Chains A and B, each alone.
Chain A
Amino acid sequence: MKVEVGDQIPDWVMESVRPERMRTMAAILRDPNPVHWDRATCKSMGFGDHTINQGPLGLSYMVNMIHAWAGPTSLARLVMRFPMVILDGDYIVAKGEVTDIREEAGERLADCRVWLEREGTEPPLEGEATVRLS
């Protein structure tokens, strides 16, 4: 796999964040927080009629982007921060760029800046990924 510093990772798009996926996640995670499934709670918090996506779901869009780019076993490390929430109905694009390429323990690794993009706001999620290059 030919990769250079400055390369852009191909975008991965979530066309519309779906509330039923948040409900499935809440059930599997045993997550009691109503912000993921109760619109009334979200409305009282100022989010209108939108439930709030679980942090790990937003993070998973980054994972899907990296898998599509470098393969399903490529992700070695992911650091993610969550400055803003993602809401149901949002159109989200996962993006990334290679910031360094290095060798560690016999593996060739790419360090990448990764983030989610949503029109009209700052990136709701941002972080760094270390990707194994085959």
Chain B
Amino acid sequence: MNTARVPTEAEIESLVGYEFPGGEYTIEHWENFLLTECTGGELLPDGMVHPIALFHVPILGANTSIAEMFALGQAESDSSIGIESYVWEMPKMLHEDITYQITAQVTEADRRREGKRTFDRIQFCFEVAEPGGDLAARCTITWTYGRSTL
């Protein structure tokens, strides 16, 4: 039985605007190689990074983690998290050995009820910029945090 305190609606809504520390991230060849292998695809030419990196590079580069994102929404357990959607915008391809600047914040947060199910919906927006400041990618992640006791 889950006995964790459930955050109030106001607490969840107050997350909008929360900014992660931000930072930078450099994708090395070994990491791109292993990521690409996980997808079952071929390594891309000319040091291009497989877009699957757009899941973890923004998160780690913003100096946060999946665990911290779970905790921010006061998830009752790891398995209470659901994925609503990912939106990846890619004005440019990422490349190995380039140091990208990452910023991130919570852009939406609210409580929803669908039938008997209650959950909190939290949206995170990460921006990945090239060293000169041009946007390389924007990733919007929307997760649901199930509330089994509500």
Contact = CB atoms under 8 A, between A and B. Distances in A.
Interface of A: 14, 21, 24-25, 28-35, 41, 45, 54-57, 59-61, 63-64, 67, 72-73, 75-82, 127
Interface of B: 31, 34-35, 37-41, 44-45, 48, 50-52, 55-56, 59-60, 65-67, 70, 78-79, 81-91, 93
A30 B90 contact: no
22 contacts: A29-B55, A29-B56, A29-B59, A30-B67, A32-B67, A32-B78, A33-B78, A34-B78, A34-B79, A41-B79, A55-B55, A56-B56, A57-B39, A60-B38, A63-B39, A67-B41, A73-B93, A77-B90, A79-B85, A80-B88, A81-B84, A82-B83
A99 B19 CA distance: 37
Contacts of A33: 66, 78-79, 81
Nearest to B141: A55
Given A28-B38, A57-B39, A63-B39, 8 more contacts: A30-B56, A32-B67, A32-B70, A34-B78, A55-B55, A56-B86, A60-B39, A60-B41
A63 B53 CA distance: 12
Contacts of A59: 52, 55, 86
A32 B79 contact: no
Contacts, number: 105
A80 B39 contact: no
Contacts of A77: 87-90
A55 B79 contact: no
A60 B52 contact: yes
B57 to A, nearest CB: 10
B51 A75 contact: yes
A76 B39 CA distance: 19
B98 to A, nearest CB: 15
Contacts of B81: 33
Contacts of A28: 31, 34-35, 38, 56
Contacts of B91: 76
Nearest to B77: A33
Nearest to B85: A81
A63 B41 contact: yes
A42 to B, nearest CB: 9
B38 A64 contact: no
A116 to B, nearest CB: 13
